[in-house]
Amino acid sequence: MVLPVRGDMHINLQTDEGVVTQHVREGEMWLLPRNTPHSPQRPDPGSAGVVIERIREEGVLEKFQWYCLNCNHLVHEVELQVRDIVVDLPPVFEQFYADETVRKCDNCGAVHPGKAAR
């Protein structure tokens, strides 16, 4: 569940047809469909929100995926157990941003811009 309490946000959803953007305005509530690859974005400076997630069970792996912005092909995927998003996720993202070889699309050759895509 997503509830922006200050500022708006949007969630980029990965679908078979490409990226679909779901806008969630301040004060609105939105439920993410289960097992949907997504990327929450808060473009408003100083925005804040409430996100309620499921309890992460020991041994359950989560996938983090990046898709080509040109052809929508899967560019990179990391699977890991997340125990603490504050500790576990930044290294995953930084490794992707730092390595152009993992950002290059095998399908069309385009290079994912990393942080600039946000």
Band of pLDDT at residue 43, cut at 50, 70 and 90: confident
Residue 117 has pLDDT above 80, yes or no: no
Residue 10 has pLDDT above 80, yes or no: yes
Give the torsion sign (CA, 38, 39, 43, 44).
positive
Residue 34 has pLDDT above 80, yes or no: yes
Distant-in-sequence contacts of 96-105, Cβ < 8 A, 24+ apart: 96/66, 102/75, 102/76, 103/66, 103/75, 103/76, 104/75, 105/68, 105/70, 105/71, 105/73, 105/75
Tell me the average pLDDT across 13-34.
92
**CB-based burial label for 5 (10 Å; 0-12, 13-18, 19+):** exposed
